[in-house]
Structure 1
Amino acid sequence: MIHHELGNVLFHAHCLRHTHGTILAEGGVNPKTVMERLGHKDIKTTLQTYTFNTEAMQQKAVEIFEQSLQA
């Protein structure tokens, strides 16, 4: 199995769905689009389980807020 080859028993192919959703969210893809790509019927599943808030996303939020203060 791949998780043994990687030396990580916690890894499984399903982890790639989480990675896929997070990469799309980090890139600014609309959450509904991410939901549809992952085949979910409920946006709650996508947002609570399949996307993670990354450092890059946090930094982007700071930049957007700072830009709004300068306007």
Structure 2
Amino acid sequence: MPAAPAAPTADEIRDAVARTVGVAAEAIADDTNLVAVGLKSLHMMQLINGWRRAGHRVALKDLAADPTVGGWSRLLS
């Protein structure tokens, strides 16, 4: 049985979101609402697709329920 993929760190999640929406990673705190910095559902799907390719099981509804770096870090760990 293959090992579970390593969970992305909060900084990796922050960097991915920053690249996706075109903002500085420093502008995104762990508790920043990612929708408030411009994240749309299409962006979330792009991020989800990358995480799924890496072996993570994640759904849009779960990310949308707590759209913060901290929430996503907990979800993906």
**By the TM > 0.5 criterion, same fold?**
no
Say which structure is richer in helix.
1
TM value normalised by structure 2: 0.29
Structure with more relative contact order (C-alpha pairs < 8 Å, separation 6 or more): 2
Q: Which has the larger radius of gyration?
A: 1
